[in-house]
Amino acid sequence: MSCHRPESVAGATHAAPGLDHNPAALMQPRAPAATPQELKNGARVKSNNVAPQGVYLPNYNVLTPHMRSPDYVQMSTAAAITLGLMKGRMYRCECTRCLNLLLTYPEGCRANCAYCGLARHREAERDYADRNFIRVDWPAVPLDTTIDIVARDGAASPFHRMCISMITHPRSDADTVTVLKKWTDRIDPATIPVSILSNPTTMTREDVKRLHGLGADIFTVALDAATPEIFDRTRGKGVQSPHSWAKYWEILMDAREVFGREKFGAHIIVGMGETEHDVLALVQRLVDLGGHSHMFCFFPERGSLMDHLPATPRDQWRRVQLGRYLIDYRGVRVEQMSFDGEGRVTGFGIPQGELDDVIDTGIAFRTSGCPGKFREDVSACDRPYGDSPPSNIASFPFQPNRRDVAKIRRQLAPPRAKG
């Protein structure tokens, strides 16, 4: 078992021929199909009501057990391998440093985000605990088993951070509190800090304060879309989903006040139809507020409403990845950079020698996310191959070597002229 799927079974995984960026007109999600009433809200799992027996590895040939947070959580295949709950090897990686705990319910996430494998429109096709998410299966594990293993390993744990990933569900806020309390009862948050990947749609400022008071270290908001229009198209009314840009920003600003500088951030997916300038202007806004951006390359998820669309071309991704690193960690401002008429980066605003040094260190091209224990600009959240195939890595889950950097340099091309 490997932590990535064979590339032959993936959907549309390549960039559109002849394009060096994904333009807005191209990146239109499919409309969600109607779900028959009898398959809504996890009805199949609830009516079968099969009792879970320990760890559940997604399996389409058995009845999915009835599992619920806070007793159960799901985790990435990489985390399950790192915990020793699954056998497998990860290409060029020993382990992952971040333990993502995803809340789970038979009803699943009630949102319908167009790029997401967990989205509600899939409820007729696949039970929630069996859905692929960010390219891999997510085993369901009793929370107590997970905490037992990490507590047993103590300071020798490979994990640098734990992250509770909320979903859109009426129980999500209360169960996040329970998971956090149970974790911090047994594991010192100074040894393994906790991040919250929030679900602003169901949250209030009081929820943000409660999580901070219980010892959460970093609070993140998955904006995912770089502009309000793309947000609405991919996560809001455009796909019959409940999220709004304004509510996400409201909770992000609450997190800024409650958690403070360097302790909040936002996720952004690159290549859903925004311009490079749109993304980097958002990165600058977050830095000016005192936060960070965590950035991912759009890579179509099988079964999602965007699985027919092209992956983000590497040229676009590398330009934005480098620009984001310069703004987030090197004090460069977006106003120093130059852009062409289509919003593509044509200059990074620093002397070529300095730029070469940054490129050669390779850190700008690593997976971004909340920091681990190595250094501030190296993320603990290094779950591999979530945004690319291993044969053409977008976010490097390890330190790129000289050959990797040479490939990055070839990909980091200036904008192509229109054909």
Of the candidates 230, 196, 224, the residue with the CA atom closest to the CA atom of residue 210 = 196
DSSP label at residue 124: T
Nearer to ligand SF4, 127 or 315 (CB): 127
Contact with ligand SF4 (CB under 6 A) among 119, 192, 221, 320: 119
Burial-class residue 151 by CB neighbours within 10 Å (0-12, 13-18, 19+). Answer: middle
- Applying CB under 6 A, does 223 fall inside the site for ligand SF4? no
Q: Which stretch binds ligand SF4 (CB under 6 A): 1-9, 42-50, 110-118, 185-193?
A: 110-118
> Judged by CB, which is closer to ligand SF4: 134, or 394?
134
Q: If DSSP codes are grouped into helix, strand and coil, which group holds residue 251?
A: helix
Query: In the complex, what is the shortest distance from the CB of residue 118 to ligand SF4, in angstroms, rounded to a whole number?
Result: 4
Does the protein bind ligand SF4 through residue 118 (CB under 6 A)?
A: yes
Residue 168 CB, shortest distance to ligand SF4, in Å, is: 5
* HSE-up (13 A, CA, CB side) for residue 16: 16
* Residue 168 binds to ligand SF4 (criterion: CB under 6 A): yes
Q: How far is the CB of 103 from ligand SF4 (least distance, A)?
A: 9
Which is closer to ligand SF4, CB of 20 or CB of 224? 224
DSSP 204-233: -HHHHHHHHHTT--EEEEEEESSSHHHHHH
Whether omega for the bond prior to residue 70 falls within 30 degrees of 0, making it cis, is yes
Nearer CB in complex with ligand SF4: 77/284: 77
The site map against ligand SF4 for 182-221 (x = CB under 6 A) is ----------------------------------------
- Measure the CA–CA gap between 74 and 61, rounded to whole angstroms: 19
- Could you say which of 101, 116, 180, 258 contacts ligand SF4 (CB under 6 A)? 116
Q: Is 89 helix (H, G, I), strand (E, B) or coil?
A: strand
167 binds ligand SF4 (CB under 6 A): yes
Q: Find all residues with CB under 8 Å of 322, minimum gap 6, and list them.
A: 348, 358, 359, 364, 365, 412
List C-alpha distances in Å: 204 to 69, 208, 211, 227.
20, 7, 11, 23
Asked if residue 140 binds ligand SF4 (CB under 6 A), the reply is no
Strand partners, 197: 165, 220
Q: CB 275 → ligand SF4: shortest distance, Å?
A: 22
Residue 251 as a binder of ligand SF4 (CB under 6 A): the answer is: no
Among positions 109, 192, 211, 370, the unique one binding ligand SF4 when judged by CB under 6 A: 109
Provide CB contacts within 8 A for 416, sequence distance 6+. Answer: 20, 315
Residue 111 touches ligand SF4, criterion: CB under 6 A: yes
Do residues 320 and 306 lie in contact, with contact meaning Cβ atoms separated by under 8 Å? Answer: no
Instruction: State the minimum distance, in angstroms, from the CB of residue 268 to ligand SF4.
Output: 13
The distance of closest approach from Cβ of residue 270 to ligand SF4 in the complex, given in angstroms and rounded to an integer, is 16
> What is the SS3 assignment for 384?
coil
Q: Which residues contact ligand SF4 by CB under 6 A?
A: 109, 111, 113, 116, 118-119, 167-168
